[in-house]
């Protein structure tokens, strides 16, 4: 049995006339007659009664007509869905995020992607940097969001943005009135740092900055993520240096003040990582959204810079 034969059968059943059906199918009548005969032979069932005016369906033929329509429609659907899946418009994308990365940029990107590809089911996984890399290699995830990556041979990354540093400070502290804090002003002040976990990470960046500026760093706590660090600031444990994108988080009694007097490379990047040899259309589609987001981000910041 053959899809062609099924198509032919449906045409004949609908036209109730082999010659007319042949015209509709843009073939001549004899091969159509033969295909129908073959179909009947194979099924060992008479599908049509031959009459003087044409043909008419037997009851078995009527049943087979229904089934045939189902089959053709299922095939059509399969083709369409497969093509959509091939364009990355359908399927499932497993994405890893890290603790505080969820604060603003990542939700924006995910929201854009969901709008552009509503057929794709996004599944989020909270994972540390090391876990993300392992999960990528095991193909449990397709993309991970992260900061401060060391290059790896099998993993590519795309930098999304570079956060400058800010200081989280209690609003009853003398420095809280300033619009810019110089690193030197934090000399020997109590500092909460994060995260715990695989190096290199944000702590290393902060340490390097202090070291290069010759400022003493007085670490009082090392906590798991930015949210916890800022909560400790709110609780009076001291200062906390954060990537500026974490400043969307509002906690009672906490103010965020830009940190000045730093070298240009004192930034922390947000990147997304993915397997170098993953050519799936879903990933490509996702990265396209990321790049679009990135370029709009640049335009926007240059605009606001021009206005200021």
Partner DNA sequence: AATTGGTAATACCTTAAAGGTATCAAGCAG
Partner DNA sequence: CTGCTTGATACCTTTAAGGTATTACCAATT
Site for DNA, rule CB under 7 A = 2, 4, 17-20, 26-38, 50-55
Q: Interface with a second copy includes 83 (CB under 8 A)?
A: yes
> What CA dihedral angle connects 35, 39, 41 and 44, to 10 degrees?
-160
Q: Interface with a second copy includes 212 (CB under 8 A)?
A: no
Name the minimum Å distance from CB 141 to DNA.
22
Alpha-carbon gap, residue 259 to 44, rounded angstroms? 85
With a CB cutoff of 8 Å and minimum separation 6, the contacts of 178 are: 257
Q: Interface with a second copy includes 86 (CB under 8 A)?
A: yes
Q: Interface with a second copy includes 19 (CB under 8 A)?
A: no
Alpha-carbon gap, residue 37 to 65, rounded angstroms? 16
C-alpha dist (Å) from residue 207 to 152, 230, 259: 24, 18, 14
With a CB cutoff of 8 Å and minimum separation 6, the contacts of 219 are: 191, 192, 193
281 binds, among DNA, a second copy, none (CB under 5 to 8 A by kind): a second copy
Name the minimum Å distance from CB 97 to a second copy.
21
Q: Measuring CA to CA, which residue among 52, 57, 78 is closest to residue 9?
A: 57
Q: Interface with a second copy includes 49 (CB under 8 A)?
A: yes
146 binds, among a second copy, DNA, none (CB under 5 to 8 A by kind): none
Name the minimum Å distance from CB 238 to a second copy.
48
The two three-digit tokens of residue 7, written as one number: 């198509």
Alpha-carbon gap, residue 171 to 256, rounded angstroms? 9
Q: Interface with a second copy includes 37 (CB under 8 A)?
A: no
Among 8, 21, 35, 64, binds a second copy (CB under 8 A): 64
The two three-digit tokens of residue 155, written as one number: 């993993």
Among 70, 126, 216, 296, binds a second copy (CB under 8 A): 70
Q: Interface with a second copy includes 82 (CB under 8 A)?
A: yes
Among 85, 116, 224, 249, binds a second copy (CB under 8 A): 85
Instruction: Note whether 233 and 247 are within 8 A (CB).
Output: no
Stretch that binds a second copy, among 152-160, 174-182, 245-253, 273-281 (CB under 8 A): 273-281
Alpha-carbon gap, residue 134 to 131, rounded angstroms? 5
H/E segment holding residue 303: helix 281-307
Name the minimum Å distance from CB 116 to a second copy.
17
Q: Interface with a second copy includes 53 (CB under 8 A)?
A: no
Strand partners, 219: 191
Rounded (5°) CA angle 127-132-137? 150
Name the minimum Å distance from CB 17 to DNA.
4
Q: Compare residues 39 and 285 and give the one whose CB is closer to DNA.
A: 39
123 binds, among a second copy, DNA, none (CB under 5 to 8 A by kind): none
Our measurement of the distance from residue 261's CA atom to the centroid of its chain's CA atoms, rounded to an integer in Å, reads 37
Q: Interface with a second copy includes 248 (CB under 8 A)?
A: no
130 binds, among a second copy, DNA, none (CB under 5 to 8 A by kind): none
Site residues (CB under 8 A) for a second copy?
Answer: 1-4, 43-47, 49, 58-60, 63-64, 67-68, 70-71, 74-75, 77-79, 81-83, 85-86, 90-92, 279-282
């Amino acid at each position: 049995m053959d899809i062609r034969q099924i198509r032919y059968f449906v045409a004949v059943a609908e036209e109730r006339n082999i010659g007319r059906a042949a015209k509709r199918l843009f073939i001549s009548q004899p091969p159509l007659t033969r295909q129908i005969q073959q179909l009947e032979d194979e099924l060992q069932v008479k599908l049509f009664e031959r009459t003087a005016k044409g043909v008419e369906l037997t009851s078995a033929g009527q049943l087979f007509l229904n089934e045939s329509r189902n089959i053709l429609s299922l095939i059509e659907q399969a083709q369409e869905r497969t093509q959509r899946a091939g364009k990355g418009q359908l399927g499932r994308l497993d994405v890893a995020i890290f603790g505080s990365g969820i604060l603003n940029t990542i939700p924006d990107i995910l929201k854009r992607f969901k709008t552009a590809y509503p057929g794709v089911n996004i599944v989020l996984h909270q994972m540390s940097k090391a876990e993300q890399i392992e999960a990528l290699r095991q193909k449990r995830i397709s993309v991970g969001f992260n900061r401060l990556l060391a290059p790896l041979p099998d993993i590519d990354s795309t930098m999304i943005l570079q956060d400058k540093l800010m200081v989280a400070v209690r609003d009853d502290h003398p420095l809280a009135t300033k619009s810019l804090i110089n690193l030197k002003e934090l000399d020997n002040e109590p500092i909460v740092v994060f995260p715990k976990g695989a190096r290199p990470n944000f702590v290393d960046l902060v340490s390097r900055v202090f070291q290069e500026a010759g400022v003493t760093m007085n670490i009082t706590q090392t906590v798991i993520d930015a949210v916890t660090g800022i909560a400790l600031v709110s609780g009076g444990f001291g200062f906390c240096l954060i990537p500026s994108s974490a400043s969307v988080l509002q906690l009672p009694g906490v103010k965020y003040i830009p940190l000045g007097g730093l070298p240009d490379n004192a930034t922390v990047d947000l990147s997304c990582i993915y397997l170098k040899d993953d050519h799936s259309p879903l990933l490509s589609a996702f990265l396209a959204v990321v790049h679009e987001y990135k370029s709009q981000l640049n335009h926007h910041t240059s605009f606001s810079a021009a206005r200021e």
